[in-house]
A = this chain, B = another copy of it.
Amino acid sequence: MRELPRDRLVSTALRLFSERGFHATGIDTILAEAGIAKMTLYKHFASKDELILATLKRKGDELHPWIAQRVEALARGGRNRLLAIFDALREGCADPNFYGCIFANAAAEFHDVDDPIHAEAYRQKRWTEDFIHGLAVKAGARSPHALALQLCVLIDGAIVLTHLSGNTEPIRQATVAARILIDDSLPKPGPKPGARAVRPVRKRGAKSGRQR
């Protein structure tokens, strides 16, 4: 069964804004692809900016449960939840329709912090930080706020560089870094405080120096 016009509009807008950017995507294109009349759009939204806001909210509504669900599923398999985030990240960026983080992209096109679109993008981004903070608390991190923000920095950096380079090596290295930071932030179970357990086991995968 077909979506309601408003939902179809937001879905199509989300897809096109993701693929082509916000300013580069015209109203008419969205309407044509959604098969919707112009007046219907302006019945539901006062302006294009309002439509953009709705697409960002929609993205959050889709993304956040997905993240939580993936982390839980991986955790049931025995994976550390904080590290599972990076597994989910890898999965998300492997999607053929990966165009970077739409919230960061929105901020890149709407620089003004007071712009409602920029503000909404930031609001959505904070969900991730809050989510990770919750996991960090449960894991018993020494400074859950600091660790959560550090992991967020790794995540967003990995997304940006994966998008720029077109390969997922940044995500791999972000995961490596995350493991070190997590270990460093968790109370040591092991013998001597300050001594890090080091185990350099790693098969030689695809060479990293090739494309970079």
**B154 pairs with A161, CB closer than 8 A:** no
A179 within 8 A of B: yes
Q: Is A46 an interface residue (CB 8 A)?
A: no
Besides A145-B209, A200-B208, A206-B208, 18 more A-B contacts (Cβ < 8 Å) are A19-B111, A100-B108, A101-B160, A105-B109, A108-B163, A109-B109, A149-B170, A150-B173, A150-B176, A152-B161, A156-B160, A157-B160, A177-B181, A199-B210, A202-B211, A204-B206, A204-B207, A205-B207
CA A158 – CA B158 in complex, angstroms? 11
A108→B172 CA distance, assembly (Å): 22
Out of B107, B158, B183, name the residue touching A100 (CB < 8 Å). B107
Contact A210 B122 (CB under 8 A): no
Q: Categorize the interface residue count of chain A.
A: 35 or more
| Selected A-B contacts with CB under 8 Å, 24 pairs | A20-B111, A21-B23, A21-B111, A23-B23, A100-B107, A100-B111, A103-B164, A104-B160, A109-B109, A118-B164, A122-B165, A125-B161, A146-B173, A149-B170, A180-B180, A180-B181, A181-B181, A184-B196, A199-B210, A199-B211, A200-B208, A200-B210, A201-B211, A204-B207
Pick the residue among B150, B156, B202 that contacts A207 (CB under 8 A): B202
